[in-house]
Structure 1
Amino acid sequence: MYANGGQESERGKFMTRIAHLGLGIMGRGMVRNLRVGGHDVTGWNRSAPDLPSELLDLSLAPSISAAVTAKDVVTICLTGPDAQRAVLMGDDGVLCHAPVGTLIIDATTTDPELAREIGAAAADRGLRYVDAPVFGSRGEAWDGRLDFICGGSEKDVADARPVLESMAATIHHLGPVGAGAAAKLVGNLLVAAQLVSLGEALALARKSGLPDAALMGFLDVTDYSSALIRGVGRNTLAGDFSPHFYLRHMLKDARLITDHAHRLGVSVPMTAAAAEQFQAAVNHGHGDLNASGLHVTQFANAGLEKP
């Protein structure tokens, strides 16, 4: 299956030698579940990672080149396009050092054009590339319940599947390289719209004097409800904005969506307006809150105290 080999683990399961690059909120959970799945994982991060106790024994490489040497698979989860260019295409990047035949599985939310550029550059070097961004945040990553949206060849996605299954609730193949990145932006457009409308609705409800529990009681059961409304709604009303997915990353994704849509000639006025609201919230110092930290600014605009 993998050009560089692989071996049996002590539990008798096929053990893939994996370099995982990026040990942030999402990456830590991904590594946890790769190891639970019986894979041999070496980690790398651009800065010293803050690892939970369960990962303190994780083997950490001092460089990208050291991390990817003699690996079957490289899994990646970074903050966005700038980090991707540096980590994958830089002078000390993955494409310079990964052995021929290595399968690269990139879970970064990015520009579809950049995904295709990376895929082409990887192919030129005899490497295989699957863009596989995810839906889910910190909890889903830690529990192995991410939804992977993949772009790549049929064979490459099939070969990626045993690795992804360690981390996934579901796996979806959308088409060639770049299709996963495009599908992720489609989904995040809907996330952005729900976050903005939920904040406005909750501010209106709070200003109207509606009790929080009764409000969520009917929002739970209506036909327009969603997991985001049910979960994020309760957290906002409780004033809980601990980061599962940073607001500054939501701003980055909203800009990616509008840029991608404009290149294709698709009008996305609601998403453009949402991006401006995310920008304003970041400007007010809320970028390191959860994406729902937007609601702090929306409540303030309604003349309300912080939720």
Structure 2
Amino acid sequence: MTTIGFIGLGVMGAPMAVNLATAGFDVVGYNRTPSKVEPLVAAGGRKVSSAAAAASGSDVVITMLPDSPDVERVLLEEGGVFDVATAGTLVIDMSTIRPDLSRQLAQAGGDRGLRVLDAPVSGGEQGAIDGKLSIMVGGDADSFAAAKPVLDVMGATVVHVGPAGSGQTVKAANQLIVAGAIELVSEALVFLEAHSVDRERAVEVLAGGLAGNAILNRKAAAMLAGDFTPGFRVDLHHKDLGIVTAAAREAGVAIPLGALAATLMGSLRAQGHGSLDHSALLVQIEQLSGRSASN
């Protein structure tokens, strides 16, 4: 039986680890808040008291952490994952972090005989629960082939997109598109409301045409209800858009609409809405339009 050390059991990580345990893998979980490991234990996994303990003796180590410094610390600190993992171990970082850091981690891990992949995900909490995430993987082809049976449990679309760092680059593009789509859907909803159109019917027909997109399908109903219970928090999307804008600047690429979306997301966060779902961009557009806020 393959043993998987899973580090980071938050909104996304917990259901991903549960799916692995349900599929028959021996999953050892660690989270800074111990109570968040309980769903994994209930699914047949095991709880340990440190990231190093999760990595020690595991065939595969998966990290699902909030930001670049968290991943760097867990993998590279003295006594961390890279120190305790044995040569040949697959280390799969499924967090969303800077592409340049992913390349550095792959090099550092490779120097120690580890096989390191960056494999960020898209699909939100529901995609994690359903095991239908889109997983974009950077790293060498042989390591990807070895990891695919594990990744297939968590994702419906699992694609090797190139060498180390490529997964994070594709994820940055994903977050750019999602932010822009949320912004435009928000603008459309405010526009429709201002003209006294039945917005539920409007969303139905828009979703069936060329304007159809995942935000209309998955988020619009809750947005109309003013329900911004987080599936993916403003705080995290703000962080991801920082990665996008930095990577675009590094490459000399203009992202005018993306920069605007990043500014609006940052403003929403500065107003104290960082814990809301990122679809709360609707609130920002309502405020800019001088209309009553959904929440």
**TM-score where L is the length of structure 2:** 0.95
Q: Deviation string for 1:157-197 (max 9, x for gaps)?
A: 00000111111101101111111111111121111110111
What is aligned with 1:12? Answer: none
Q: What secondary structure sits across from 1:174 in the alignment?
A: strand
What is aligned with 1:108? Answer: 95
Higher relative helix content: 2
Q: How does 1:151-300 map to 2 (within 5 A)?
A: 151-300=138-287
Residue 45 (structure 1) aligned to one of 27, 31, 48? 31
Residue type of the partner of 2:159?
H
Residue 286 of structure 1 contacts residue 294 of structure 1 at CA under 8 Å; is this kept in 2? no
Residue type of the partner of 1:81?
S
Residue 122 (structure 1) aligned to one of 102, 109, 123? 109
What is aligned with 2:84? Answer: 97
CA RMSD of aligned residues (A): 1.4
Quick one: structure 1 residues 259 and 53, their matched pair in 2 at CA, closer, same or farther if it must change by over 3 Å?
A: closer
- Unpaired runs of 5+ residues, structure 1, are 1-14
Runs of 4+ aligned residues of structure 1 deviating over 6 Å after TM superposition are: none
**TM-score where L is the length of structure 1:** 0.92
Residue 8 (structure 2) aligned to one of 22, 27, 36? 22
Residue 41 of structure 2 contacts residue 47 of structure 2 at CA under 8 Å; is this kept in 1? no
Q: What secondary structure sits across from 2:136 in the alignment?
A: strand
Q: What secondary structure sits across from 1:138 in the alignment?
A: helix
Q: What secondary structure sits across from 1:173 in the alignment?
A: strand
Quick one: structure 1 residues 66 and 54, their matched pair in 2 at CA, closer, same or farther if it must change by over 3 Å?
A: closer
Residue type of the partner of 1:99?
T
Identity percentage of aligned residues: 35
Moved more, 73-82 or 90-99: 90-99
Moved more, 56-65 or 241-250: 56-65
Q: CA deviation at 1:305?
A: 2.1
Question: How far, CA to CA, are the matches of 2:190 and 2:35 in structure 1?
Answer: 37
Question: How far, CA to CA, are the matches of 2:90 and 2:218 in structure 1?
Answer: 36
- Unpaired runs of 5+ residues, structure 2, are none
* Number of equivalences: 293
Q: CA deviation at 1:285?
A: 1.2
Question: How far, CA to CA, are the matches of 2:106 and 2:37 in structure 1?
Answer: 30
Q: What secondary structure sits across from 1:243 in the alignment?
A: coil
Q: CA deviation at 1:83?
A: 1.0
